[in-house]
Structure 1
């Protein structure tokens, strides 16, 4: 590559066109910081809805950013035809993708694989997805010049399962937006408008699917008895797993259970901030954003002792075995009985723990890795 030529980075940004989930939040927030940190890099983003991205996030209107329309299509078409052509058309030096890589490498490729939970916990995924993802993720791990992932746990699993050399994988943690998730009383009226009493409800946030383990939480919460704080569940329904929502609806008829399928981005931080206790009982996660966001919000947190969750929680949360509703019940009982001093100490440790989860820090790791590919 000509040393005097500006570095042109292509980014498969089709996650913007999809549902609100972890990979979408990751790629959006890490590049908001990367754009600001690297004015000498030309960023070229490939996605469908370029207008909404530019309208909602000013960083993507920067002078060193170009938004290129990439029509929505099946992954085979995107990976087999569209991305190779667009990289050629826009003279891309390095392409950054999520999870999968183009079948024909148009340039050096870096790929973020957030997790490989389908390999270790296949019971939570459809057989078709497990088969397809195992093939395409392995191909990405083999063919990408650089791999990125969101936790040390996910890095170790990539190396163990796919035979990847540790030096090929960089960890770009998910970040916490401290302008949205912080302690205090802000948003009290928003919470009251939802029929909630500040500090007097137990909260869980997560998509309604078996991996998130809502059923064990409902069971443990019911055992707390009639004086237990209401259980508030925030999560979108997964059509593939209707049993979870039905169980929540049955519990809601007999007890103080409230389900919010959709909360606006301006309301969710307030609902987290004003919870008396946050519980995240997932069986497995590649990172676990809700845990970090709740810890940043000054709320006592209980979460599972499996996969990446102890890494995210550090000593800032109480841990339990997600396979044991008894252990979850005992941990919730202990958390609810904490003294004000014990609660304050846990929250203080949590605040220190989440300092490491900053988008700017992860963007620096990302860009160092991508820039290292420019001469290859």
Structure 2
């Protein structure tokens, strides 16, 4: 049953599935947090209801969620089928929502209208980088969300075009709310050097990549490129947790004889990561495919020169403020690394360009797009 649109005199009641707050820091968590911190400030006329387990920790970490038009509703942490099949349908009905904002997957029982953010459809366009069962599951949920959502959103024009192509949609019907950077966490300077040293790194003298240890992030090509650099090149630091087919990373390190030159850090915390980024000499992100590429933006905001791929969403995010390379071209990647390591002026110019580029992305701008879509959908 779908509730009628609110009258002009009635406040919009917007629910948000915020369960990602209770999980590991990742792109979808950064996105929904940054987006709604801005939206709350911009829309005192909307009643926001956030559904999550860690209500107290969210309020303690971010004062915006204590605003008078915000309600944090405890949704105990449960497996996905319970959350989608029982908890969210009940909360949607109980709180008489005008719209419920989800990411990727809609509740299994429908009680009203939905907004849904599908960050990417890489499981459709690049299925070789995903477990087949996962790709089939995501196809079902995202195709369903694309059909049933009253408001459909994504994070880049690349993702918008691919969503439209995969699901037979009009691209103009998909709203783009790009990611941005939390500049309170990611900024240039010398702060955090002690954190970097505590991890066994020398500030300003390491090449950094950040991303889960899985084939799509293309660590093997990066390791091959790095192995061709001079023996006195700064160490390569890989920050990321083990994921799908991660063994290839460690096998490549061993087979290329890089055990003494490559450091894999699997337990860098959310509070340590900004310092690790800030003190890198070069940031490299040669991923095969992304829906956006948040680490590129965070590295730019940290004042670090960036090398990234010339595929999918990365040219849209990086523009001419990074060196773009073919992710399958190990010699080309090695040449770009050698160039930035050997030419401080080039590296400095690229870092300056990156700082300017990341200013083009704003949570406030994305929140205004979101709120316009919500008001149009709800008749407010």
Matched with 1:198 is 203
1:118 deviates by 0.5
Matched with 1:287 is 292
Q: Is the 8 A contact 2:215 2:244 kept in 1?
A: no
1:197 deviates by 2.1
Q: Is the 8 A contact 1:116 1:158 kept in 2?
A: yes
Of 19-28 and 280-289, the range deviating more from structure 2? 19-28
Q: Is the 8 A contact 2:215 2:245 kept in 1?
A: no
Matched with 1:163 is 168
Alignment: residue pair count: 375
Matched with 2:66 is 61
Instruction: Report the TM-score when normalising by structure 1.
Output: 0.94
350, 355, 365: which one aligns with 1:351: 355
2:156 matched to 1:136? no
What runs of 5+ residues in structure 2 fail to find an aligned partner?
Answer: 1-5
Matched with 1:243 is 248
Output the CA distance in 2 between the equivalents of 1:194 and 1:149: 36
1:36 deviates by 1.6
2:336 matched to 1:331? yes
2:95 matched to 1:87? no
Matched with 2:236 is 231
Matched with 1:261 is 266
Matched with 2:216 is 211
Q: Is the 8 A contact 2:224 2:256 kept in 1?
A: no
Matched with 1:319 is 324
Instruction: Report the TM-score when normalising by structure 2.
Output: 0.93
Output the CA distance in 2 between the equivalents of 1:253 and 1:86: 52
Output the CA distance in 2 between the equivalents of 1:266 and 1:289: 17
Matched with 2:373 is 369
Matched with 2:3 is none
Q: Is the 8 A contact 1:208 1:245 kept in 2?
A: no
Cα distance change of structure 1 residues 25 and 53 upon mapping to structure 2, 3 Å threshold = same
1:2 deviates by 2.3
1:239 deviates by 6.1
Give secondary structure in 2 for the equivalent of 1:199.
coil
1:88-114 CA-to-partner distances (Å, cap 9, x unmatched) read: 111111111000122333222110000
Task: Report runs of 4+ in structure 1 exceeding 6 Å deviation.
Answer: 249-253
Q: Is the 8 A contact 2:116 2:152 kept in 1?
A: yes
Cα distance change of structure 1 residues 77 and 267 upon mapping to structure 2, 3 Å threshold = closer
2:305 matched to 1:300? yes
Calculate the aligned-residue CA RMSD, in Å.
1.8
Give secondary structure in 1 for the equivalent of 2:175.
strand
Cα distance change of structure 1 residues 299 and 169 upon mapping to structure 2, 3 Å threshold = same
1:317 deviates by 0.3
